[in-house]
Amino acid sequence: MNYKLRITNHWIVALSFPLSVVFTGTISAQINDTVKATTLQPAQGAEISYNNGIADFGKADFKTAITDFDQAINLKPDFEQAYLNRANAKFKLKDYAGASSDYTKATALNANDDKAWYGLGMTQNISGTKEQAMEAFSKAILANSKNAESYFYRGELKFQTKDYSGATEDFSNAIAFKQDYADAYNDRGSCKVETKDYKGAIEDYNHAIGINKNANTYNNLGSAQRKLGNNDDAIASYSVALALKPDYFEAMNNRGTAKFNKGDYDGAIADFGKAIEMNSSYSIAYNNRATAEYKQNKYRDAKNDCDKAITLNPNYGYAYMNRGIAEEMLRMPSDACNDWHKAASLGVAAASQYSQDCQ
């Protein structure tokens, strides 16, 4: 290999823009779900058991609530609200199969119960049946066009399938019917990032922060600012995220990325190192620290960090490419070529540029 000066791209990997929540669900029974009567007669035992279930649910005694709803259903097999709230109690206990069965029964008894469709969508999503969950949320919206939660979670599913236009529409509807919906603003902002509307994303993230100062949203805000080249603003946002969540290793990595972009390689190395201290299996931070070390001509350190990144993630294409760059500077041409070929085989198109001089 002929050693010559070349323009080198250093591959910093920052996190993508995360959505606000993992699907956990807003599932609850309300006090006004109780069956009201001036005097409940003995013949109304189903209603009495049902009301007891609502009271026990309110105390977070979900097992007893299920027993109460069981009694109500035994006495009144078509008691749709009892199926709905028994499903809610099972959901709270993470009995998702049992909850799904009860939500399905509730929708069979009342196809216009948006709460039952919503609950079914939540359980199906947690169980991994995404298409069925999408359908259930859509039916919840058909039953109640103002169901903000169903718009939101359907938007999450659309985001996961990269339907950013559809997700944006759903998040916007969620906001329309729940104007203080911070998570919907955050996630609409993430859709805008994916479509490169960074200014719009910053506006949405700031709106979300005005409602709820959340570490994830500050991290997302910083990444949108960094995309626009506003690295000082990004560093400030990442720092707030870390103040709110001191063990937020992704934000620490991202702050290091912003410092790298500014040419503050010492600061970048320090932040990447802190991210590694927070999570020693975080391969991205090892790769990123290697790029900063390369900038300081610390080729052996860069190679060692790439070694670690590859050990943690054997399919990490950019780490192979970066290790090859360091090996070239360490006069290890054969190793460099092997790594560039490996990176290319893992889908890193830029790696092919480096291997052009390889025999």
Q: What is the pLDDT of residues 269-324, one digit of tens each?
A: 999 999 999 999 999 999 999 999 999 999 999 999 999 999 999 999 999 999 99
Supply 357's token pair.
């001089």
What whole-number percentage of the chain has pLDDT above 70?
88
Q: What is the mean pLDDT of residues 321-336?
A: 94
pLDDT attached to residue 7: 33
Span 46-60, pLDDT tens digits: 899 999 999 999 999
What is the CATH number that goes with domain 44-144? Answer: 1.25.40.10
pLDDT classification of 354: cutoffs 50, 70, 90: confident
Span 117-134, pLDDT tens digits: 999 999 999 999 999 999
Class of domain 301-359: mainly alpha
- Predicted TM-score of the model (pTM): 0.86
pLDDT attached to residue 344: 93
pLDDT classification of 259: cutoffs 50, 70, 90: very high
pLDDT classification of 41: cutoffs 50, 70, 90: low
pLDDT attached to residue 6: 32
pLDDT attached to residue 194: 93
Instruction: Please tell me the least confidently modeled range out of 38-42, 95-99, 151-155, 182-186.
Output: 38-42
Q: What is the mean pLDDT of residues 257-266?
A: 96
pLDDT attached to residue 353: 86
pLDDT classification of 11: cutoffs 50, 70, 90: low
Q: What is the mean pLDDT of residues 58-79?
A: 95
Q: What is the mean pLDDT of residues 169-185?
A: 97
pLDDT attached to residue 24: 39
pLDDT at 28 over 80: no
pLDDT classification of 338: cutoffs 50, 70, 90: very high
- Locate the domains of the chain by residue range: 44-144, 301-359
pLDDT classification of 175: cutoffs 50, 70, 90: very high
pLDDT attached to residue 21: 37
pLDDT at 40 over 80: no
